[in-house]
A and B are shown apart, each in its own frame.
Chain A
Amino acid sequence: MLDKVLFYFFAGIAVASAALMVTRRNVVHSAIFLITALLATAGIFLQLRAEFLFIVQIILYVGGIMVLFVFVIMLVNLDVALQQIQFARQKWVALIVALALAGQVGVMFWTSGKMPGQGLPVLTAVAANRLPLNSEAVAKSLFDSYLLPFEIASVLLLVAMIGAVVMAKKRA
């Protein structure tokens, strides 16, 4: 019962603030609603007892959106941006994409109702104290089972970072 209420609470906040994020004119307000949506998603992770995902979501997005804020404040001329008409060019494309997505989700729900055991996987609930500790579980799967892909991904990120630094540096 409690879980259900919490889920609808967080999910409602996430959906509402995501909608507000794309409809606000002011870019800073959009950023605020973006972080609200992400925090609400973190809340859903917590409600699913994935506390490691919850905190990683918060820590990463705090840093990430912080930088976004700085960019918005420094690069976007807010007074000018507020007066322009925005988001009007891709109306029809957006409508088609949204309809396609809605259709896809609808079909998935419909088939999952028709064919038991084949559509959406239904997980059985486990008591919270019998779940494996999940920061340990994440560490084990990253550094044990998937060590090579993990290392490849981190080398890729490192290359991207060094590339950015080299490109940003002035030629002496």
Chain B
Amino acid sequence: MHREILKHKIAYFVLIIGLIGSIAGFMGVWPNPWLQRAVIGLLVIFYFCWGVFVHRQSGTLTRKIIEEYLVVALFAGGMLLIITF
């Protein structure tokens, strides 16, 4: 675990900042559900782009990885989206 984090410490730092920012944004815009959905959309896009960028930098980007990040991001975003209705 440490090796993986140290190897991509900047990437994980950006990821954690993005996730914390999403939490703050989601809580901060409440009770406006539309802004919350916008925050969810940004989170999905951010996570997908983060994954693609990190794998591209390390030269391990494949179509399956792109699909994996897309599915995980949409799944996570979908769960959050449902509770805003």
Q: Do A and B bind each other?
A: no
**Interface residues, chain A, with chain B CB atoms under 8 Å away:** none
**Interface residues, chain B, with chain A CB atoms under 8 Å away:** none
